[in-house]
Structure 1
Amino acid sequence: MTKLQTILTATSAMCCVTAAHATELEVTHWWTSGGEAAAVSELAKAFDGKTEHTWKDGAIAGSGNTARPVMISRITGGDPMAATQFNHGRQAEELVEAGLMRDLTEIAEAEGWKDIVNPPSLLDACTLDGKIYCAPVNIHSWQWLWLSDAAYKTAGVPVPTNWSEFVAAAPALTEAGLVPLAMGQQGWQQKGAFDVMMIALLPSDVYLKVYDEKDAEAAAGPDVAKIFQAADQARAMAANSNVQDWNQATNMLITGKAGGQIMGDWAQGEFAVAGQVAGKDYHCLPGLGEKNVLTTGGDAFYFPVLDDADKTAAQGELAALMLSPEVQVAFNLKKGSLPVRGDVDLSAANDCMKKGLEVLNNAETLPGGDQLITQDTTRQIEDLMVEFFADTSLTAEAAQERFAEIIADAE
């Protein structure tokens, strides 16, 4: 019996039927930029081509902050989709605890996920009370500084190789009429950049004390004060970055209007769609070029409990397919992320993906913030960062004091 047959047998047994008929599965996600759409199409193409079923795309425009409340409302309101994207971590924890998400343990065991998912923390983030509730599909890391070769050529300065050089080059870009740092005016982007600076510019134990141990004293201490000073520099460099969405900020680099962007590795998808080549048209610095470190967050799919036997069986096929070697390669090459499988061929990876693989395999990795703090705490920090980047009268010292108060109340 093949693994897929084993999965079908298991899912059929659970829903009291003997076989799955062709059906349509609605899959919701927030992947709507050019690069993201190209990546998700690989998942849909594989599902439509390798099973008897059909992928119904349920893309929700906007960021995860826009999409997640819609997804949660549908699930809790009795109108669940067949599968939905969340980030690795605690975003779906309450839905799982309420019994609204399907237990994938039998599928995971049949497919040997514990043997192939690397790092194991990704599968751990899908696990609650010993049961697996999601299928991790990629490793996304935030710790990247993307750099536009065209912008630095216009400014007449070399492409920076670390954060210190990036800050030092900012006046030359400003004088040339360019924006030193492209950043969308949304809290999740600003908090993401803040967290990147904390990880890249400080010893890693500070980040873990703040977000894992919820140490308010560390959050109020001199190390984190340095990061608020760096964030103050960042908001000055991003003062004329008048865009909202992250991919609009990436496009400022692609068009040579901005020097750099702190953004996760999903930015690579936008460069790829624009036909730009890593190492030639743009450069990338993991850990801001200061430290070889990446967080191992990313995306996973959860499968709400359904009362339709055929759709339930088809869910099992989709979950298994998402972690198959060929789908892992095709999807992640388009997405700019790294595969969750450590046994796939990535010889077609570009220079930046190879840098990420090198860090993943030989340097330091840390859990992403979504794996350590609740969504409520995340939103509070995002709201603080929106205010900080918009209002220069809010000093770094005052912002740090409020940050420490948030951490003190965090769960």
Structure 2
Amino acid sequence: MKRGLQMEDLVDRIIECDFEHISFKEFPLNEKFGLIVWKSNIKYEFLLNLKENSQNLICIGSGALNPPDLETFKQKPRFNRHSWKFSQSTLFYNDPTRYLNDSILGGWCIGESDNWYLEEIKKIIVKITEYLKIKNENILFYGSSLGGFNSIQLGTLIRNSKVLADVPQLTLENANYVRYIMPKLFPDLTNEEIKDRFDYRLNILDLIKREKYIPNTILIFDAGEVDIKEHYIHFFSQLNDLTEAENSNRIKIIINPINEHHFMSMEETLTVIQQACDNDLMCFGDEIHLSKLYSTLKEHEMTIEAKNQEIQNLKDTHQNEIDAKNQEIENLKNQKNAEIANLKAKNSELEQKFNEISNSTIWRLTKPLRKLLNLLKNK
């Protein structure tokens, strides 16, 4: 996606209307277009690409900005993954929460005290799908991290839809950044008041309890320490609250054994989405080992093992070379030490003989003669 562009820079056609007149507009097929919907004086921005032969609609939300991109996207929409080649119809939604303060990297569609933006987005999506005659069971909410959090919320609000959430955040109560933006969104409320009034906006399980509905969901978790501490432990500790739900949907949890907050690749994601659309979502979960995600993961593991073995072989080879060189040096050192010891022994022997000669009677008697010889030699 081009960075920091207005919607007119992304698509050739933009449809703008208020909420009540969505069904009066004619949406084009097989081309990407923009949709601006005004509701309660808030501008909600969407990118859509409706495929003529697709009964499935994939809804994708925006993730958080990286700090360097904050200035670039100030008061501008962001549509993550809109350049991907989906075979299904797609709807990308922007989060207007970012527009409330230019320092907000991501707003989780939290909105304002009297206006939960995500619920308004849900109403707009329902209006669009009813107009297009798309059934709820053919709607798939997909997102990762922040987008995964909003996808689960929307799947809870729009019953019988499906959710695929990749390394999603599950509760915002323990996230440091959320504590930073709360005063900007609710300047007149304390943290306790925010939690009491808006817990359903900040915690997946609180929304499920409020709606008494379990979304038809697959969650892909990573094994990173931060996500486990901030999101997963809290989620698992309150799973007994799901017994209050009025439906029998199940949340399928898949552990992707990587120690980092890392999303699936485009290829993996498109394959998983296609399988989720083609099959029952829970059945897809039962056959996850056949999916591209885990075959790719296995390939990565085998590649890593091969690389580790290659490194170990190189280490072993170099170690053998080092050991041989060390042995060669040690042998040379021992040889030189033996030569030095031999020279010392010979020197000691010579010194002993010299002392014996120096102390002999002949040596003392011939001393004057030796002096005379040296004198004659010098002349």
TM-score band, normalised by shorter chain? under 0.3
Higher relative contact order (CA 8 A, sep 6+): 1
Q: Which has the larger radius of gyration?
A: 2
Normalised by the length of structure 2, the TM-score is 0.26
Normalised by the length of structure 1, the TM-score is 0.24
